[in-house]
Structure 1
Amino acid sequence: MKVTAIQTFIVDGGFRPWTFVKMETDEPGLIGWGDCTDWGSPGPVAATVERLSELVIGRDPMQVEAIWWDLTAATMRHVGGIAWKAMAGIDSALWDIRGKALGAPVWQLLGGKMRDRLRLYWSHCGTVRARFADRLGLPRVETTDDLRALAEEVLARGFTAIKTNLFPLRDRPETQALMSRMTHHGGDAPPEVIRNAQAIVGTFREALGPDVGIALDVAFTYRLGGAIKLARALEPYELMWLETETLDPEALRLVRESTRTPICTGESLFGTHQYKPYLQLHAQDIIMPDLAWNGLTMGKKIADMAHAYDTLVAPHNCHSPLTTLVSAALCATIPNFYILEFDVDDPPWRDEIMTHPLEIEDGFLKLSDRPGLGSDLIEAELRKHPPGHYPGVR
């Protein structure tokens, strides 16, 4: 069996573009799908997939490991970033083909499942409706009352955890100062930012009760001192985690040692070599590798390394439904799985592009028993949703 063609599709994903990889073989009807969604540079990622395809077409798709390391060697001067995202899309498509060829779900090939369903958390809860409600036809979230109404929806749908971000609330007195300080504070966490964070997290905590997990994602916004201030200020709300990023693992260890708020990081890291210093320093409680950027081959190695360092894994998974299936294949097989990210507020055509839509009930994803990743994408449906409204995407 040989790979005969590789093609990419950039698709409207509502508040970000989705980037898919379609891989064909010389076996009639045997194709694989992968995801290498990049929110900011889908065009360059797709172009890199096309370039790397020259090294994959003609190869045996069953040689997933060999192809991964050959592509790693070919991109050695570009470790991480766009190159590895392109590699991840190719890698997932190879795993999909391998599973289909063997008549087995990918999780079976990774060692067999340890669980039949995966706990999900509602990601960007409130954030999507604060920033993209009109685009997606969703109710707007602008006030603490809107957050309370959203919390009722979370409970009604059976979710046991959420993740949100910081955005100005219209009914809060610090909003005007916040608008000018949210992105111009040099990495500090000034008082109005702290109060806004407490208002968002505190409202959710009051409305959701003590047992629902609440995570806050601030990415690279705050430097060492600001992250410590924020983590300490949110201790009364018993966060599931504060998600904060830095390229300095020792700085992150200081944050973790300065607060009882659990720390999560890692969505922007690539490969075991980048995770290693964070794990060695026990700089965080949870890591969140992104499998659309690391691929299944490397993702499994990262998760196994995290287990050796007594660290939980909660994959970064705010891309397409295909990435959810890729992530699910990994999460089913690792002992240190914690919880999986999931964007509930996706565009209404999410299920329409899949031959077998995701099965979600009471905040849990049911694991698919179908060969490969568990669903193909429908090419005709993908073409109905071009990403024309995203600047810079062609």
Structure 2
Amino acid sequence: MKVEAIETLTCDAGWRNYFFLKITADNGLVGWSEYDEGFGSPGVTSVIEQLGRRLVGQRVTAHERFFQEASALTRPAPGSVIAEGIGALENALLDLKAKHLGVPCYELLGGKLRDKIRVYWSHCATWRISHPNFYKPAITGLEGVKQAGREVRERGFTALKTNMFIHDDGLPYAWRPGFAVPFQPELNVDKKVIGNVRRHLEALREGAGPDIDILVDVNFNMKSEGLLRLLRAIEDLDLFWVEVDTYNPKALAHVRQRSPHPISSCETLFGVRGFMPYLEAQAMDVGIVDTIWNGVWQSMKIAAICDAHDVNIAPHNFYGDLCTMINAQFAAAVPNLRIMECDIDRLPWESELYTHTPEFEDGYLLVPDRPGWGTEPIEEALRAHPPKVAGGLLQYKRS
């Protein structure tokens, strides 16, 4: 079985676009993956198209050989969008290989360790504040944040994650200087920001109650000094973890040693080499692995090296439903799983795009046993929602 054709497809996803890769084999079988260009990654499609030419005519089952060859061909510029393109191609090959064998992808990863996966409701309140036209009900103040926490509990989920917002200037808005929203490259943290983060978390706790785990993601939005100030200000709050992004493992280790809360990190890193400095520095309690960027086969290697350092992992998963199903197969097979990210707020037309959508039970994602990833995009549905000209972080505006 050899690769015959490679195609990319894009559709409208509200404030962003969804991106899909389709690989067709010479026996007619099709493998799918989802990738992204909206999370600071313009140009992944071009990488896929160029590397994909090299893949045509090669054996579908030899995905590790492809990874090693593609890595060698792109060695002068490793990581970033190149790695993401390789990861998308690897994931589609895995789907195709599993379908050829008639098994779920988790069987290629060593077999299923669990039938269901605990998830946290990611971007809780976040999407309803930042993108109210697509995610209802719109949140216009702390009362709406409280109600979002209450909904998590009432719908049977056991954990939620939120982001940073300012509530005292009229309608709430996202605080994301690490992504130039607002443009404040110094990334200083003042009392206003700290006070707003605390009020936001207190509102969620009031709504969710004492038994729901609360996670907060501060991304790249502050340097170590400001992060420590924030951690001291929320020391008394009961948090599952504080998620931090930084490209300085020693700085993160400095923070972790002084943090009253567990620290998670590394969602923007690539490969074992990217994770090793953080593991050697004992910089985090939980490693966040992006299987969509790295490819699931390579992500298993990352999880293994984390396990060797007594660190559990959590999949980074804030894309479409196909990505959720990809991560479900990974999370089912990886031994050192902590919890899985999942966006529960979905677009009104999301379920139209796939043959199967994720199933949840009592705050857990059920692992599908269908061949491959357990779902496929429906091409006619994708074309019925043509992509917008631009979307994602690069076009994000305060609303």
Q: TM-score, normalised by structure 1?
A: 0.94
What do the CA deviations read for 1:13-56 (whole angstroms, capped 9, x no partner)? 2232211100001113x100011213146661111111011110
Distance 1:338 1:178, change over 3 A: closer
Deviates more, 1:162-171 or 1:193-202: 162-171
**Whole-angstrom CA distance in 2 between matches of 1:384 and 1:339:** 34
**Whole-angstrom CA distance in 2 between matches of 1:172 and 1:71:** 50
CA contact (8 A) 2:109 2:330 kept: yes
**Whole-angstrom CA distance in 2 between matches of 1:198 and 1:23:** 47
Q: Which amino acid aligns with 1:162?
A: L
What do the CA deviations read for 1:124-157 (whole angstroms, capped 9, x no partner)? 11111111011x1511112111111111211111
Q: Residue 97 of structure 1 corresponds to which residue in structure 2?
A: 96
Deviates more, 1:360-369 or 1:296-305: 360-369
The equivalences for 1:228-307 within 5 A come to 228-307=228-307
Residue 171 of structure 1 and its aligned partner are, at CA, apart by 7.6
Q: Which amino acid aligns with 2:85?
A: A
1:32 aligned counterpart, secondary structure: strand
CA contact (8 A) 2:166 2:193 kept: no
Deviates more, 1:123-132 or 1:37-46: 37-46
1:237 aligned counterpart, secondary structure: coil
Distance 1:336 1:188, change over 3 A: same
Residue 173 of structure 1 and its aligned partner are, at CA, apart by 12
CA contact (8 A) 1:234 1:261 kept: no
**Whole-angstrom CA distance in 1 between matches of 2:138 and 2:206:** 20
**Whole-angstrom CA distance in 2 between matches of 1:331 and 1:219:** 23
The equivalences for 1:31-46 within 5 A come to 31-40=30-39, 44-46=43-45
2:76 aligned counterpart, secondary structure: helix
Q: Which amino acid aligns with 2:286?
A: I
CA contact (8 A) 1:32 1:96 kept: yes
Q: Residue 132 of structure 1 corresponds to which residue in structure 2?
A: 131
Q: Which amino acid aligns with 1:128?
A: W
Residue 8 of structure 1 and its aligned partner are, at CA, apart by 0.6
* Structure 2: tracts of 5 or more residues without a match: none
Distance 1:117 1:71, change over 3 A: same
Residue 123 of structure 1 and its aligned partner are, at CA, apart by 0.8
**Whole-angstrom CA distance in 2 between matches of 1:137 and 1:50:** 33
2:4 aligned counterpart, secondary structure: strand
Q: Which amino acid aligns with 2:159?
A: A
CA contact (8 A) 2:165 2:172 kept: no
**Whole-angstrom CA distance in 1 between matches of 2:351 and 2:138:** 23
2:111 aligned counterpart, secondary structure: coil
Q: TM-score, normalised by structure 2?
A: 0.93
Residue 62 of structure 1 and its aligned partner are, at CA, apart by 0.5
What do the CA deviations read for 1:334-371 (whole angstroms, capped 9, x no partner)? 22101111111221222211112211222211101111
Work out which of the residue numbers 154, 164, 167 in structure 2 matches 1:166: 164
Q: Residue 83 of structure 2 corresponds to which residue in structure 1?
A: 84
Residue 223 of structure 1 and its aligned partner are, at CA, apart by 0.4
1:48 aligns with 2:39: no
1:59 aligned counterpart, secondary structure: coil
Q: Which amino acid aligns with 2:270?
A: F
* Structure 1: tracts of 5 or more residues without a match: none
Residue 210 of structure 1 and its aligned partner are, at CA, apart by 2.3
Q: CA RMSD in A?
A: 2.3
Q: Residue 155 of structure 1 corresponds to which residue in structure 2?
A: 153
Residue 117 of structure 1 and its aligned partner are, at CA, apart by 0.5
Q: Which amino acid aligns with 1:148?
A: K
Aligned-pair identity (%): 36
1:243 aligned counterpart, secondary structure: strand
**Whole-angstrom CA distance in 1 between matches of 2:185 and 2:192:** 11
**Whole-angstrom CA distance in 1 between matches of 2:317 and 2:272:** 19
